[in-house]
Amino acid sequence: MNPVASAPVLSDAVFALTLALLLICPLAIAGVALINTGLGRSRSAAQVLLGNLAIVAVAAIVFTLVGASFAGTLPGVSGSAGFTFHAAGKLWNWLGKGSFLLRGLGADAPQSQLALLFEFLAVAMAAMLPWGSGADRCRLAAGCASAAVLAAFVFPLAAHWIWGGGWLAQLGVNFGLGAGFLDGGGAATVHALGGLSALAVVWIAGPRRGKFPREGLSTAIPGHSGIYVLFGCFVALVGWLAWNAAGALIWLHAPLAALPGTAINTLLSASAALAATFSVTRIRFGKPDASLCANGWLAGLVASSACAAFVSPVESIFVGLVAGIVTPLMVELLELALSIDDPSGAITVHAAAGLWGLLAAGLFAPQPGQLLAQLVGIAALLGLVLPMVYLLFALLNRIVPFRVDADGERIGMDLHELGGGAYPEFVIHRDERYR
Amino acid sequence: MKYAGLLVMPAGFFLALAALVLFPDPARRTLFVMCGLAVELMGLAVAVRGHMLARGARLP
């Protein structure tokens, strides 16, 4: 398929199908929330899951109040394309100028309304990813505040650049780089952005108490429920199949005939990634590791987000294989060599796999120059978005401290923040280290 | 040290951006964009190193 054909007139049938797909997409969010919860400790399970829900709510409200205007998806009455400037003989569209508070939502073109709904889901997912990495030590208020920052400023900027006709989307027109930066399923705007934000949160909040002793290897703190994690993978698959198909229709203007292939490629990428992670962990540890396999599966889904709509099934398997091989090795590298405590693995699964998917989209897209467009987009995410998010979060940390006090971490986030545990019938064993 | 690394990263981005404007030739453009990415990765490595050093100093 040729990515980003010209936007077709949306028939009622295509509108209804896209809307139906978008209504299934929240399952991807639910799956990731379940995985985040299962990979954390039992004494923080309710806080993590409630935090995911609260973050979705905060992100949706803040995106309505502030972010949607900067994303510029709804042009509103002004019909403006956004804030632009001229440099080197080119027009650089760097910020959206959409309708304020979603005014005129019902009157806008159906295509714009579907795109806006997609962005609501995308901002919710992106804002949720750092929360999983800060599990077991980050406060609910900090999670919500960081979600507000992402939904108000960072996500809208990236969404406008990539989906809203911004300078990255215009790389094809302005510099002859393929079809401009391609990201049909949100590998950049959702996963790379969320994963890089997770890195910022982990740097600011620091590791969980007792994770990295002064001497010896880091302490393993296994997730409390393999069932949540693995069931989350099944739920996420359903959501991802719809997510990638909806993204292909909305952002790449794919024909309906391309949707089965998109879904098959999504499944193949996840399957290949799982097989690769299964094999790598079997070779390294003697037995396959369930939580790493779940991470591998998710990494395959994330990588497919960038390119499932236009790669062949064999290429999709290759994309998944690479994601699945890299995932367990990078999780180990971050923890053992770089002292980065990331309970949900979001930095590896979402940032690294997302960036790999974007690169693969450039490698396998048919247009000349596409690889360079993807590299420029990756450079923007890594070189501009990560430092910006870190700076914003570091400032936010001064106002709303991310990390809970030592006593809160000792008794668990559920008791400390919610006053009750997720599993009240279970006896919570005292951690030996705190005696 | 972490902030130094994070400051280097945007420099890599602007190098990649400058490549688009300054070099119409695809080969040179690609080379300079790759150089920009390499600078970003170096900045990231410095930031990670800074994080490790700061964490080591804070341990009891």
Any B CB within 8 A of A88 CB: yes
Any A CB within 8 A of B18 CB: no
Per-residue pLDDT of chain A (435 residues; tens, 9 = 90+): 445 555 666 789 999 999 999 999 999 999 999 999 999 999 999 999 999 999 999 999 999 999 999 998 887 655 557 888 998 888 899 998 888 888 888 888 889 999 999 999 999 999 999 999 999 999 999 999 999 999 999 999 999 999 998 999 999 999 999 999 999 999 999 999 999 999 999 999 999 998 888 777 888 899 999 999 999 999 999 999 999 999 999 999 999 999 999 999 999 999 999 999 999 999 999 999 999 999 999 999 999 999 999 999 999 999 999 999 999 999 999 999 998 999 999 999 999 999 999 999 999 998 999 999 999 999 999 999 999 999 999 999 999 999 999 999 999 999 999 998 899 877 655 555 554
- Contact residues on chain A for B32, CB-CB shorter than 8 A: none
Name the residue facing A390 among B6, B16, B34 (closest C-beta): B6
Any A CB within 8 A of B36 CB: yes
- Contact residues on chain B for A171, CB-CB shorter than 8 A: 20
Enter the pTM of the model: 0.94
* Superfamily for the A17-422 domain: Ammonium transporter AmtB like domains (1.10.3430.10)
What is the residue range of B37's domain? 2-58
Any B CB within 8 A of A378 CB: yes
**Cα torsion A407, A413, A414, A418: sign:** positive
- Contact residues on chain B for A338, CB-CB shorter than 8 A: 48, 51-52
Report the domain count for chain B: 1
Any B CB within 8 A of A390 CB: yes
